[in-house]
Amino acid sequence: MIDDITLEEERTLSSAVDPIALTRLLGQQEYADVASLLESLPLEDRSITWSEISQEHHLGILVEMRADPREALIDEMSLIELDALFKGMDAEDLVELSDSLPNRLIDRALSAMDDIQRHYYEGAQQYEDSLAGHWLGHHFLSLPQNAKVRDALRLLRRELPEYVDTLFLTSRTGGFRGAVKIGSVIGAPDHLLLAEIAEEDFTTINANDDATEASLKVQNSGYSALPVVNDNSTLLGRLDIGTASELVNDYYEGRLMATAGLDEDEDLFSPVKTAAKNRALWLGINLLTAFAAAWFIGLFEATLQQVVALAVLMPVVASMGGIAGSQTLTLVIRGLALGQVNEVNRWALVKKELQVGAFNGVIWAVVVGYIAGAWFDSFMIGFVISLAILVNIVTAALSGALIPIALKKLKLDPALSGSVVLTTVTDIVGFVAFLGLGALLLT
């Protein structure tokens, strides 16, 4: 294995990754770093490196990997290796890996679990992966609501789970009744009831809450974890800061990749055919929008033949509108994702972005108009492009604000399709405004 590799094996492995660095990461159980390292390797080198890693580390690494590269490694594993993997797996690990495993292997993993872990997994599957209940953690400290400080101190002498700074209090039927900071327990009288030093109005998460919104609530709570309850206030588990941070990071990475029509789980070194297929759809959509813009340009063919300067300056108009629109689009999409844009403030935001567009439009219309007029020694060309720049930047700002709001209303992902729609609008408006004014004033 990686800790005992021969000189020949090391030479083979060195073409893929530094074995000393990898051994150090594995020894420290820095599985996220190892996962990232494996994902950065071409497929053949990745397989070589994976085969040299001890089985005891496989589960921790696979949990940290993206779905596509993880699936490729799982497909290469034998049943003996998979059974060894399942032997050390708990419900939370299986929830993380379930999208990468066929049903037959999920059943095999469940058969290797005890009844408690199997119950936890089945409970998670009652919720979609977009809901907080799907990502429950079950490693936390809890006591009955009538417990005393001495009971808490006895509990704290055991090994503490990760991300624990509070004790949860429950009723006899499992209902959540409050939380006590561990710091409040230390030094308190032994006979004192925990309920007397419990935090007031402690925040909880409903299992049906959106997972990203729940994760943001954890991040903003000031606590390492928040309890997750059902509609009857029964304590189901918790959402800790580690899981919350992963969910938030995955969400924003997904939005970033979606702007290019890509899946956040796509393998950096996925097979050429697979990668090409994944990207073909959005290239086709872009081609349609490009032909739409070209058709509008074609309407002014005669004008372009007479005034060559218009053809030279067209990209300037489109570019200025595109940049102005994308700035507003990005701002509004972020606001929608964070829940900052709503029914109450949306029109105030649209008004503000329109004003910003008008302000920048005037400034850059003057600058571009002066440069173009001096370049072609024509006041009218400068005047035409100034008006076109102003119209396109104002339109871009308005579109950048309205398009994501409209797409959200239609239950479409603004991050996925917003930029395509915006580019089409700014290109067509910019070209029509510029060439239309040119046809009107220069021919």
Note the pLDDT of residue 286: 61
Does residue 306 surpass a pLDDT of 70? no
Residues 283 and 427 in one domain: yes
Q: What is the mean pLDDT of residues 228-237?
A: 94
Domain C-terminal end among 200, 233, 258: 258
Residues 431 and 323 in one domain: yes
Residues 431 and 306 in one domain: yes
Does residue 129 surpass a pLDDT of 60? yes
Note the pLDDT of residue 21: 72
- Residue 311 CA to residue 435 CA, distance in Å, equals 9
Residues 278 and 243 in one domain: no
Q: What is the mean pLDDT of residues 141-166?
A: 91
Q: Is residue 16 in a domain? A: yes
Residues 307 and 434 in one domain: yes
Of 297, 163, 368, 65, nearest to 49 by C-alpha is 65
Of 157-171, 191-205, 396-410, 417-431, the poorest mean pLDDT is in 417-431
Does residue 14 surpass a pLDDT of 50? no
Q: What is the mean pLDDT of residues 156-185?
A: 91
Note the pLDDT of residue 332: 86
Residues 123 and 241 in one domain: no
Q: What is the pLDDT of residues 322-380, one digit of tens each?
A: 888 888 888 888 788 767 788 878 888 888 988 998 999 899 999 989 998 898 888 99
**Which residues lie below 8 Å from residue 321, measured CB to CB, with a gap of 6+?**
389, 392, 393, 395, 396, 426, 427, 429, 430
Tell me the CB-side half-sphere exposure of residue 70, using CA atoms within 13 A.
22
Does residue 4 surpass a pLDDT of 60? no
Q: Give me the phi and psi of 354, to 5 degrees please.
A: -65, -40
Does residue 297 surpass a pLDDT of 80? no
- Residue 37 CA to residue 65 CA, distance in Å, equals 10
CA 253 distance to own-chain centroid: 3
Residues 75 and 14 in one domain: yes
Does residue 428 surpass a pLDDT of 90? no
Secondary structure class of 237 (helix, strand, coil)? strand
Are the beta carbons of 387 and 320 closer than 8 angstroms? no
Q: Is residue 75 in a domain? A: yes
Residues 379 and 395 in one domain: yes
Q: Is residue 88 in a domain? A: yes
What is the DSSP secondary-structure string of 276-291? Answer: HHHHHHHHHHHHHHHH
Residues 351 and 414 in one domain: yes
Strand-strand pairing, 205-206 and 176-181: unpaired
Q: Is residue 286 in a domain? A: yes
Are the beta carbons of 315 and 392 closer than 8 angstroms? no
Secondary structure class of 140 (helix, strand, coil)? coil
Note the pLDDT of residue 262: 58
CATH number where 338 lies: 1.10.357.20
Residues 16 and 76 in one domain: yes
Note the pLDDT of residue 280: 56
Please, which pLDDT band fits residue 218 given cuts at 50, 70 and 90?
very high
Q: What is the mean pLDDT of residues 164-188?
A: 93
Q: Is residue 263 in a domain? A: no
Please, which pLDDT band fits residue 207 given cuts at 50, 70 and 90?
very high
Mean pLDDT (the chain) is 83
More confident residue, 430 or 226: 226
CATH number where 242 lies: 3.10.580.10
Please, which pLDDT band fits residue 233 given cuts at 50, 70 and 90?
very high
Angle between helices 414-442 and 308-337 (to 10 degrees): 150
Tell me the CB-side half-sphere exposure of residue 272, using CA atoms within 13 A.
0
Range of the domain at 41: 2-134
Q: Is residue 265 in a domain? A: no
Residues 322 and 379 in one domain: yes
Within 10 Å of residue 389's Cβ, how many Cβ atoms?
A: 30
Note the pLDDT of residue 439: 84
Domain C-terminal end among 203, 228, 258: 258
Q: Is residue 175 in a domain? A: yes
Residues 126 and 153 in one domain: no
Q: Is residue 264 in a domain? A: no
Does residue 264 surpass a pLDDT of 90? no
Question: What is the DSSP secondary structure assignment for residue 339, as one 8-state letter?
Answer: T
Tokens for 52, please give them.
Answer: 């040299």
Q: What is the mean pLDDT of residues 11-31?
A: 64
Does residue 169 surpass a pLDDT of 90? yes
Percent of the chain with pLDDT over 90: 33
Domain C-terminal end among 205, 226, 258: 258
Q: How does 118-133 read in b/e, with b if 16+ C-beta sit within 10 Å?
A: bebbebbbebeeebbb
What's the number of domains the chain is made of? 3
